[in-house]
Amino acid sequence: MQNFIRRTAAALAVLCMAVLLLGTPTGAERRTYPAGGEVVGYYAGWAAYQGWTPDQIPAEHLTQINYAFAQIDPDTLTIALENEAHDKKNLAALRKLRQQNDHLKLLISVGGWSDSKYFSDAASTAARRERFAASCVDFVTEQGLDGVDLDWEYPVSGGAAGTIHRPADRQNFTLLLRELRAQLDRQGRRDGKDYSLTIAGAAGGWYLNQIEAVQVAGIVDHIFLMGYDLHGPWDAYTDFNAPLYTPSGASPQSRGSIADSVRAYLDKGIPAEKIVLGMPLYGYAYQGVSSQNNGLYSTYTSAKSVSYKTLKKSYLSNTAYRQLRHGEAQVPYLYGNRTFVSYDDAASLAAKAALARAQGLGGIGLWELSQDDGGELTAAASSAFRSTWDNPFRDVAPGAWYEEAVQYVYEAGLMQGTSASAFSPSRTTTRGQIVTILHRLEGSPRAGRVPFTDVAADSYCAEAVAWAEQNAIVQGFGDGTFRPHRPITRQQLAAILLRYMEHRGADTSGRADLGRYSDHAAVAGYAREAMAWAASAGLIQGRSDGTLDPSGSATRAQTAVILRRLCALTGEA
């Protein structure tokens, strides 16, 4: 008896491992993916003047640091440093930081709001593009960096006063990136190294119309979506700097949100994994505002940017300011002393990071690191995006009902993703995939002819289906088909697992009362015993609305949960 129990437990453990095949019916080789997703922080050279030096950066929460900013020399149209001695000292300190955190990448960021004046000139001809790119590659290799970040604000139009623009910037930006990519790759082949190329882009559809968005995304490693400055001192009324969602109430000025900006990038055809959602470590304080609506949408007399470290020191600790939170926008704000302050805190950045995960984005980013001198916002955003476990799946958000199950099956080596960064929790599994798993558990025994008309002899699941039918584990449909590509329903999965366990000789005597579920009558006759057994074993539970949903699909998320419960029954979990 004990041998039998051990044999059954072992079989169930193998069943758990075999679920890896749910998304790969062709028997693809198992791959182990590293934890996915970038956490990018900009470090501004001027921060060192203020006493916040590179050694204070919370590197454990970051994967990439962009040093801001290098300029473009107007005479040579090549990369240049504003203060060479100061900047090189900072770069040396960043390299030392990387030695202590070997997961870090260091990139030089060129441009920014104040230093984008000559981008259009540098990109205007093939010769100029080649020369600028060569200067960037030389700088990267000389300074021991890992790549280049271009922050052109902005091609075609916009940006600071005096920025040079051309209608051809739209095409020339693509050509400039293509040249820089080619030269970085060429240098990488010499060095045996992969150099990164990234850009920063504005939060808005207007920006996407000024670049060849899809072509650009195909060249760069990622686009840092500057998810801030949706509103600011340039507006006529107070408003939120970076609302996660658009408030539903009336507004006296343009409306938008971070979620809208992400959607605009995705709708433009930019792959989610190429988008890094940037977040602000600062806010705006507006003075001379009305008390109506706690200062929101009020006219004002003056406004200024306020770092989070200043907010902590001068506002959040001051009882004269009332701390508020907008439920729809999901951002905090302050009102007091006729002052309205829009800012982000740990909770709002975590919510934005959760959106980035839910949308499958390539990462999150922060501007600018010295403004969060204690690193608390950086840690909150990074933890929310990367989760508390080594989670590579950007579509498994922290706190999701299936997160713990996915964590278990992933860390135990039982399931992998459908790609390097996606688990695809909503994707359904098929009848053919389930049967193939069980067949392999048996050592893939020869089974002879397939009895179903829609399973070809050379199908990946043909022998599995034949074996399962011969051992009464599966049944076909009345028209002689098996329908291997059909998503498997919850009741079909229960029936197949019950029959398989009976085939193995396991104890399957437990039965739950299906009458407690409001849709119990919808359970098909063939599956009633199986659903009662699965419910009794705790493998399949009712929905929150009190239903069993027997005809509902069995998703990868549900499968992970069921497997965790199944392994717990055998003492494996």
Range from 166-180, 352-366, 377-391, 468-482 carrying the lowest mean pLDDT: 377-391
Q: In what helix (H) or strand (E) does residue 140 lie, and over which residues does it extend? A: helix 126-142
Tokens in use for 532? 């009662």
Burial class (CB in 10 A: 0-12, 13-18, 19+), 44: buried
**Residue of 29, 84, 153, 529 with catalytic role:** 153
pLDDT of residue 569: 63
Tens digit of each residue's pLDDT (9 = 90 or more) over 130-156: 999 999 999 999 999 999 999 999 999
Mean pLDDT calculated for residue range 60-80 = 97
Confidence of residue 541 (pLDDT cuts 50, 70, 90): confident
Is the domain 38-226+257-279+344-386 a CATH 3.20.20.80 member?
yes
| Residue with the two structure tokens 């001809």 | 125
pLDDT at 553 over 70: yes
Residue 529 designated active-site: no
Residue 412 has pLDDT above 90, yes or no: no
Q: Of 47-51, 482-486, 532-536, where does mean pLDDT reach its minimum?
A: 532-536
| Number of CB atoms found within 10 A of residue 118's CB | 20
Least reliable range by pLDDT among 61-75, 257-271, 405-419:
405-419
Look at residue 383 and tell me whether its pLDDT is greater than 90.
no
- State the pLDDT at residue 407: 87
What is the DSSP code (8-state) at residue 235?
Answer: S
Look at 215-229, 250-264, 330-344, 523-537 and tell me which has the smallest mean pLDDT.
Answer: 523-537
The residue type found at 24 is T
Which percentage of the chain shows pLDDT scores above 90? 66
Give the pLDDT confidence score for residue 28 in this predicted structure. Answer: 25
Mean pLDDT value of segment 374-382: 93
- Please state the rounded mean pLDDT for residues 74-91: 97
Mean pLDDT of the chain: 88
Distance, C-alpha 417 to centroid of its chain: 14
Indicate the SS3 state at residue 347.
Answer: helix
Using CB atoms within 10 Å of the CB of residue 551, give its burial: 0 to 12 exposed, 13 to 18 middle, 19+ buried: middle
- Cβ pair 285, 233 in contact under 8 A: no
Longest Cα–Cα distance of the chain, Å, equals 87
Provide the pLDDT confidence category of residue 291 given band limits of 50, 70 and 90: very high
pLDDT for 8:
40
Average confidence (pLDDT) over 397-404: 76
pLDDT for position 2 = 36
Which residue intervals of 242-360 are DSSP H helices?
A: 258-267, 308-310, 346-358
Tallying the residues shown for the chain, one arrives at 573
Question: Does residue 331 carry a pLDDT above 90?
Answer: yes
pLDDT of res. 413? 63
Contact 145, 91 (CB under 8 A): yes
DSSP 33: P
For 86-111, how does the pLDDT look when each residue is reduced to its tens digit (9 = 90+)? 999 999 999 999 999 989 999 999 99
Lowest mean pLDDT among 62-66, 136-140, 446-450, 521-525: 446-450
Mean pLDDT, residues 362-366 taken together? 96
Q: How confident is the model at residue 36 (pLDDT cuts 50, 70, 90)?
A: low
Taking the C-alpha atoms of residue 452 and residue 334, their distance in angstroms, rounded to an integer, is 68
Maximum average pLDDT range among 138-152, 435-449, 511-525: 138-152
pLDDT of 246 strictly over 60: yes
Sign of CA dihedral 16, 18, 24, 30: positive
- Least confident interval from 29-43, 126-140, 422-436, 552-566: 29-43
| Section 496-507 average pLDDT | 86
Identify the weakest region by mean pLDDT among 33-42, 497-506, 511-520.
33-42
Residue 165 has pLDDT above 50, yes or no: yes
Residue percentage of the chain with pLDDT more than 70: 91
> Cβ contacts of residue 125 below 8 Å, gap of 6+?
none
Q: Residue written as tokens 């306020």?
A: 306
pLDDT for 361: 92
| Structural domain boundaries in the chain | 2-32+399-569, 38-226+257-279+344-386
